[in-house]
Structure 1
Amino acid sequence: MYIPTLDDVLAARERIAPFIHRTPVLTSRVLDELSGAHLFFKCENLQKAGAFKARGASNAVFGLSDEQARKGVATHSSGNHGTCLSYAAGRRGIPCTVVMPRTAPQAKKDAVRGYGGRVVECEPSTTSREAVFAEVVAETGAEFVHPYNDPRVIAGQATCSAELIEQVDDLDAVVAPIGGGGMISGTCLTLSSLAPAVRIYAAEPEQADDAYRSFKAGHIIADDAPNTVVDGLKVPLKDLTWHFVSNSVSDIHTASESEIVDAMKLIWKRLKIVMEPSSAVALATVLKNPDTFAGKRVGVVITGGNVDLDKLPWN
């Protein structure tokens, strides 16, 4: 298992610079007052293709040799990684196939197709996803770009926190959502090298809390098909992301469905930005754990903005 290094992050920053945005950081006096902390929101919902995963996908796609890229790329994804891989593949002019749960938001399926990707549907479980994906790879011979358990992807995601610590001085902590752990792993990779005093917290829905239980147990515990409004955080940790989580994360906090929806409403109202339920988990856990964050300068990663406007979680 190759563990990416800071050199991989620096190479990724240079490689992907033409294909991504340096996303802004927003603040809110009201949200600071509610949390008792000084919050700095890194707005990856404003990223290319609407999610931080454009970073890792672009690093993987543009790091391929011509021979590797010839048959295209393929992945399995609940939405944002598939969308972002389709975006990156389109920029390079190669095919992309994405295996997606049939229950994935229609907006995310449409987004994959909009960037030129092909969608192959599966049942909403990890078992089905991986079985259908194996068939796709056998059929196409495409290069597999895992949504998160891939050194190229993690190095790309790590560029987000590298930007954040340049944009905001003297952070005490960074909080980001966790599903499979790609963003958190990238955060660990960057901060452990460039800002080791910054504490890293992961945020997870109570109804898909396998990373929390894994962290407490000291080994990976995987749920096959958790049920939560947070569609982007249903996948389990894998060996590479577990390496970063187990070694560098300070703690994992969870939030209920209602707390996540309330935090999502707050961000829409106060920051005036569109973001998806997965992105709200980080703020929900900050509000729920004032003793951890009170008085601290906290980076909060808003991971994506690809929400289905016809199926908002409060409708």
Structure 2
Amino acid sequence: MNAQPPASDPNRSPDHAPTREGVLRAAEAVAAILPPTPLLPVEVSGTRIWAKAEMLQPVGAFKIRGAWHRLSALDESDRARGVVAVSSGNHAQGVAWAARRLGIAATIVMPRDAPQVKLDATRALGAEIVLYERPGEDRDAVAAREVERRGAVLVHAFADPWVIEGQGSAGIEIAEQLGRAPSRIVAPCGGGGLSAGLALACPQSRIHPVEPEGWDMVGRSLVAGRIVRAGEDAPKTICDALQPTATAPINLSVLNGRSEPGVAVSDEEVRAAQRFAFARLRLVVEPGGAAALAAVLAGKVPVDDGTVVVLTGGNCDPQRFAETLAAG
């Protein structure tokens, strides 16, 4: 079935600020092509909370939301130029999926050390991949070079107003499924696109961004009131999807005054969350996708019966996931 994308809004300039009205439009656009992902009850320390199972999206991650909202808003001339995106794998698949459905050429800049399952899935969706070295090369510089060379449109993974609004559509779904505004939403955080979108979608809810230890650039930036970049000595993390070196002004401007303080989790806490999700929810969750659950299980975020934890992705390397389960 061919998708019928929503008409572009000519009043929206490329540098417009993301808004709740934009999130609502994004939710309508996403609902027109995708069913809502389940909101599942699960007990943690005697309290029933809720898990939003975004790994059940067609590309195995929530990133399909922002990608669809961004690409479907392009006018015909921009679609003809093609798009370039930067991603370790989930945004890559979201953009590739949306581009194939809309007939747009997609080029994805990906780290050479991205999980093979994500590289293979992105190629299978028809996108061209340009590899870069992580660490060693500036991924945004590589993307800028590809945009200039191809005359393409950049679809940033988190620093894009349409992407932020698209990710926020998950919050609209959550409130509809819960029948009320959640008291708090705990979400894995890379550059802050999802957290910013959720903050716009659910202004009455407390938003808790969760990042890997040593890569908590959003949390540190919120404390400092300015962009803080990861150091060259930042530690390795199994959360490959949560490793941007810095957030962006657009994300920080949305989160300032709307977000709770950031939370950082260790690799072992993340592995424990992966095992918990598999045992209790029968769900396969990739490391980055389990970061929010890790914070809850470790007692780093308070919970009540209105708490929602977003499980953002399930694109695991099979061998590493098996090793994580076996280690439990």
- Segment drifting more, 213-222 vs 114-123: 213-222
In structure 1, how many angstroms separate the alpha carbons of the residues matched to 2:68 and 2:293?
Answer: 27
The amino acid that maps onto 2:307 is V
In structure 2, the partner of 1:217 is 224
Instruction: For residues 124-152 of structure 1, give each alpha carbon's deviation from its aligned partner in whole angstroms, at most 9, with x where no partner exists.
Output: 14852122212211221111110010011
In structure 1, the partner of 2:201 is 190
In structure 1, the partner of 2:4 is none
Matches within 5 A, 1:144-163: 144-163=154-173
In structure 1, the partner of 2:214 is 207
Instruction: For residues 48-104 of structure 1, give each alpha carbon's deviation from its aligned partner in whole angstroms, at most 9, with x where no partner exists.
Output: 211111000001111100111002111111110011100000000111000001011
Q: Greater helix percent: which structure?
A: 1
In structure 2, the partner of 1:288 is 298
> Is it true that 1:263 corresponds to 2:270 in the alignment?
no
In structure 2, how many angstroms separate the alpha carbons of the residues matched to 1:199 and 1:176?
Answer: 11
Matches within 5 A, 1:169-180: 169-170=179-180, 171-180=182-191
In structure 2, how many angstroms separate the alpha carbons of the residues matched to 1:245 and 1:11?
Answer: 20
Instruction: For residues 202-223 of structure 1, give each alpha carbon's deviation from its aligned partner in whole angstroms, at most 9, with x where no partner exists.
Output: 1111131222222222221111
Matches within 5 A, 1:53-132: 53-125=63-135, 127-132=137-142
Aligned-residue Cα RMSD (Å) equals 1.7
Structure 1 residues without counterparts, runs of 5 or longer: none
Instruction: For residues 161-180 of structure 1, give each alpha carbon's deviation from its aligned partner in whole angstroms, at most 9, with x where no partner exists.
Output: 10001101342111001110
Q: 2:58 aligns with which of 34, 48, 54?
A: 48
SS at match of 1:175: strand
Give the drift of 1:19.
3.0
Structure 2 residues without counterparts, runs of 5 or longer: 1-14
> Is it true that 1:22 corresponds to 2:36 in the alignment?
yes
The amino acid that maps onto 2:214 is Q
> Is it true that 1:248 corresponds to 2:258 in the alignment?
yes
In structure 2, how many angstroms separate the alpha carbons of the residues matched to 1:299 and 1:68?
Answer: 37
Q: TM-score, normalised by structure 1?
A: 0.92
The amino acid that maps onto 1:14 is E
Q: How many residues align?
A: 306
Cα 1:69–1:33 shift into 2, 3 Å:
closer
Give the drift of 1:246.
1.8
- CA contact 1:37–1:297 (8 Å) conserved in 2: no
